[in-house]
Amino acid sequence: MANRRASITDLAKTLGLSPSTISRALSDHDDVSEATKARVRQLAEELHYQPNQLAAALRRGRSNTLGVLVPHITGHFFPQVVHGIATEAAKLGFNVMICQSNEDSRQEQKNIDLLMNSQVEGILVSLANTTHSFGHFEAVRQQNIPLVFFDRVVEDFSGSNVSAVMIDDYQGAYQVVTHLIEQGCTRIAHFTGPLHLNIHKNRHQGYRDALQAHGLPIDDELIMFCEMSQKGGTAAMRQLLKLPQRPDAVFSSNDLAAIGAIQAVKSARLRVPKDIAVVGFSNEMFTMLTEPMLSSVDQRCEQMGKTAVQLLQKMLKSGPNRQGPPKPIVLKPKLLVRESSQKR
Amino acid sequence: MANRRASITDLAKTLGLSPSTISRALSDHDDVSEATKARVRQLAEELHYQPNQLAAALRRGRSNTLGVLVPHITGHFFPQVVHGIATEAAKLGFNVMICQSNEDSRQEQKNIDLLMNSQVEGILVSLANTTHSFGHFEAVRQQNIPLVFFDRVVEDFSGSNVSAVMIDDYQGAYQVVTHLIEQGCTRIAHFTGPLHLNIHKNRHQGYRDALQAHGLPIDDELIMFCEMSQKGGTAAMRQLLKLPQRPDAVFSSNDLAAIGAIQAVKSARLRVPKDIAVVGFSNEMFTMLTEPMLSSVDQRCEQMGKTAVQLLQKMLKSGPNRQGPPKPIVLKPKLLVRESSQKR
DNA sequence: GTGAAAGCGCTAACAG
DNA sequence: CTGTTAGCGCTTTCAC
């Protein structure tokens, strides 16, 4: 019963015209008479004609589709970025095909192949955290398909059609610590995850440099390598509270651990921010819900998605023969000061 | 410089074989000799041959792609569902094309067209909240493209290839209220949004029926039509606390308003759950972060996505000529009792 | 202003 | 086991 859709050939036959004319009329080509266009359009309407993008794409060699590959679509960050990507892509007239690597390098590779097979015109990728070799991007580079890494990028993978969008974690951390110092804090602790991950490395460096720039010592005692979860934050804070001289502030590399810290402070009958100020990182939705509300750093997730698409389009437009690869774009993060770090 | 990809024709020429043989070899067809297959595969490997899905899809008449249309990819619910969809689709060998309606009926319509033009094999939709007419789904139905609505469904839109996946809001609400009653609560308030929205209507009805089933009166004073935000919840709670006889529990139709209620209770120097028990709805991530942790109802978002894809595949397999439309699937929600509603 | 013809890359029926 | 042929639906020269 499959009601086959009307094709250009069908329209052509019905109107006694040639397929070429129909095609031209539908794409509002200049050299088709208005009269003909009108007839064609009307019949198309009547028959609910739907152009077959597959065929058009095949013929044109352009699919009008962008490929997106993210580790997953859960949590806070990736959905937001994907939202930014989808929105911007739609605005520029691209379709979007989305794949998840599930943090698995093997799946990442398969999905890259899949996207290339699907003839996407460009690819946006955030790396799986298990990815350490980049052979699968070699093919993309060779085919000169524009490739934009975002957030989790390959630093030493360049090419005339490869670029990246990141957020300046260093800068964000630096701002946080400066802000805490301005609030009068002098013993500022830092919660961080493993430093082989870029985000932690950079945030940590921002922390150190900001302290030094303001003439404050770096006290290893105050640097906690902890699991960046609520529990991890609570545990780390408990330990800090046992120090002979406890800290007067905590900068946590994410919001979850910051919340954990706040809870530990509270249950030790101390107050945030009076006794200990706390700042997180990422501006998760729940930062507005805690008591006190948590200061944090906004990562401009949506902006990142949007920027990545724009960058891709720029590469698409200029073609691969421009002067050198496009410069990576580094977004400025935004410190949001809320109750948890405002002493007065 | 665009390094054109190797095509089947290229392989054929190089090996002195016909395209058909190459095609068959690559798809591991039975009637190609192992020797030939080996040669073909090796050359394909060497040349980094990538099959052109567009061409294959056009020829086969099957694109292997599912279309997804959601209001947006933000917040908690939709990203989760999309994640479920993407994961299950990948498992079943489908690509996924994702569009956002931005809660706009007009965009919804355009995106439906887009998906159909892209020759998707099936469509998964959650309606924009501004959609009140359904003409744009008419075309989908006529073309017999399997269509699955999820969460926000069209109730009176049926067809041999149309179905739906929902969650049983009524049941969830009923469970909540029963649980509160079992905790000894007798004056249970309800925060709800406008009742023309299905989710609110059903949750509200579950509330009423559970009260009645346990012989408790329905007190209009305790039913608060409020903005379902944190602020809205706080405001509503403040009002309730002014009543001569205040409630001993609140069932909020979402988590955000529930958090607001908790904050109001706390700042009135009353205790949750001792004085007033609170339960939300949706099991947002932040329910684990509040003090006390918020009891809520899990909507099985990922499961919903997964189920929707499975349902779609079933329709795809059985074809449009089965006996009647597939039955809508109603998922059972899961009450999660946490601190905010446990009296002992 | 319109038509004829060719072909994007692949697959499937049919023939040997 | 392999090749020939035809064509999915569309666009785009090139003619008229």
How do the domains of chain A map onto residue ranges?
8-51, 63-167+302-331, 169-299+336-341
Shortest Cα distance, chain B CAs vs residue A102, angstroms = 9
Per-residue model confidence (pLDDT) at position B291: 87
D14 C1' to A51 CA distance, Å:
25
Distance between CA atoms of B121 and A244, rounded to whole angstroms? Answer: 66
Residue A75, classed as helix, strand or coil, is coil
As given in the structure block, the two tokens for residue B320 are: 């449009």
Instruction: Report strand pairing: A296-298 vs A334-336.
Output: antiparallel
Q: What is the tally of helices (H) and strands (E) in chain B? A: 12, 12
Q: How far is Cα of residue A51 from the mean position of the Cα atoms in its chain?
A: 33
- With a cut of 60, say whether residue A109 has pLDDT above it: yes
Q: Give yes or no for a cis peptide into A146 (omega within 30° of 0).
A: no
Which residues are registered as beta bridge partners of A66? A96, A122
Q: Would you call A96 and B95 a contact, using CB atoms and an 8 Å cutoff?
A: no
CATH superfamily of B63-167+302-331: Response regulator (3.40.50.2300)
| Widest pairwise Cα distance in chain B | 93
Q: Which residue has the tokens 């729940």?
A: A286
Q: Would you call B2 and A144 a contact, using CB atoms and an 8 Å cutoff?
A: yes
As given in the structure block, the two tokens for residue B119 are: 């020759």
Interval A168-191: pLDDT, tens? 999 999 999 999 999 999 999 999
Distance between CA atoms of B7 and B44, rounded to whole angstroms? Answer: 9
Distance between CA atoms of B23 and A163, rounded to whole angstroms? Answer: 35
Q: Would you call B291 and A113 a contact, using CB atoms and an 8 Å cutoff?
A: no
Per-residue model confidence (pLDDT) at position B287: 95
C6 C1' to A20 CA distance, Å:
13
Q: CA of B229: which chain A residue's CA is closest?
A: A289
As given in the structure block, the two tokens for residue A185 are: 């804090």
Per-residue model confidence (pLDDT) at position B1: 40
Q: Which residues fall within 8 angstroms of residue B9, CB to CB, at 6 or more apart?
A: B19
Helix (H) or strand (E) holding A98: strand A95-100
Q: CA of B97: which chain A residue's CA is closest?
A: A97
Shortest Cα distance, chain B CAs vs residue A48, angstroms = 8
**Nucleotide nearest residue B49, measured CA to C1':** C9
* Disruptive mutation site among B50, B68, B256, B340 for chain A (greatest number of A CBs within 10 Å): B50
Which residues are registered as beta bridge partners of B250? B189, B278
Distance between CA atoms of B60 and B42, rounded to whole angstroms? Answer: 26
> What residues in chain B have per-residue pLDDT under 70?
1-3, 319-323
* Nearest CA among A168, A178, A247, A249 for reference residue A209: A178
Report angle CA B67, B70, B74 to the nearest 5 degrees: 130
Per-residue model confidence (pLDDT) at position A322: 66
As given in the structure block, the two tokens for residue A238 are: 């408990």
What region does B239 belong to: left with phi over 0, alpha with psi -120 to 50, or beta?
A: alpha
Tell me what the pLDDT averaged over chain A comes to.
93
Shortest Cα distance, chain B CAs vs residue A210, angstroms = 30
Would the Cβ of A20 be found within 7 angstroms of any atom in strand D? yes
Shortest Cα distance, chain B CAs vs residue A231, angstroms = 10
CB pairs A-B closer than 8 Å: 140
A chain contacts of residue B114, beta-carbon cutoff 8 Å: 95
Distance between CA atoms of A237 and B219, rounded to whole angstroms? Answer: 46
Distance between CA atoms of B87 and B83, rounded to whole angstroms? Answer: 6
Q: Would you call A52 and B117 a contact, using CB atoms and an 8 Å cutoff?
A: yes
**Strand C bases within 7 angstroms of protein beta carbons:** 1-13
Would the Cβ of A19 be found within 7 angstroms of any atom in strand C? yes
Interval A249-291: pLDDT, tens? 999 999 999 999 999 999 999 999 999 999 999 999 999 998 8
> Domain A8-51 class?
mainly alpha
D12 C1' to A40 CA distance, Å:
19
* Nearest CA among A143, A232, A33, A275 for reference residue B49: A143
DSSP assignment of B59-118: HHT---EEEEEES-S-TTHHHHHHHHHHHHHHHTT-EEEEEE-TT-HHHHHHHHHHHHHT
Q: Measured between alpha carbons, how far apart are the two ends of chain B, in Å?
A: 73
Q: Would you call B50 and A113 a contact, using CB atoms and an 8 Å cutoff?
A: yes
Per-residue model confidence (pLDDT) at position A318: 83
Shortest Cα distance, chain B CAs vs residue A89, angstroms = 10
CA atoms within 13 A on the CB side of B138: 6
- Name the protein residue, with chain letter, whose CA is nearest the C1' of C3: A18
Q: Indicate the burial class of A75 (C-beta count within 10 angstroms; 0-12, 13-18, 19 or more).
A: middle
Distance between CA atoms of B307 and B311, rounded to whole angstroms? Answer: 6
Distance between CA atoms of A15 and A25, rounded to whole angstroms? Answer: 12
C15 C1' to A130 CA distance, Å:
52
The residue type found at B280 is: G
Per-residue model confidence (pLDDT) at position A2: 47
C4 C1' to A18 CA distance, Å:
9
Give the model's confidence band at A135: pLDDT under 50 very low, under 70 low, under 90 confident, else very high.
Answer: confident
Which residues are registered as beta bridge partners of B147? B123, B162
CATH architecture type of domain A169-299+336-341: 3-Layer(aba) Sandwich (3.40)
Q: Which residue has the tokens 């890494």?
A: A149
Per-residue pLDDT, averaged over A324-339, amounts to: 92
Distance between CA atoms of A301 and B100, rounded to whole angstroms? Answer: 17
Q: Residue A188 carries which DSSP code? A: E
Which of B3, B55, B100 lies nearest to residue A143, judging by beta carbons?
B3
Per-residue model confidence (pLDDT) at position A112: 95
Residue A198, classed as helix, strand or coil, is helix
Residue B343 — φ and ψ, nearest 5°? -70, -30
Cα dist. A220→A191, A272, B107, B174 in Å?
11, 23, 55, 54
pTM of the model: 0.90
**A63-167+302-331 matches A169-299+336-341 in fold:** yes
Would the Cβ of A59 be found within 7 angstroms of any atom in strand D? yes
Give the model's confidence band at A164: pLDDT under 50 very low, under 70 low, under 90 confident, else very high.
Answer: very high
Do A261 and A307 meet the contact criterion of CB atoms below 8 Å apart? no
Helices (H), A17-60: 19-26, 34-46, 53-60
- Name the protein residue, with chain letter, whose CA is nearest the C1' of C7: A59
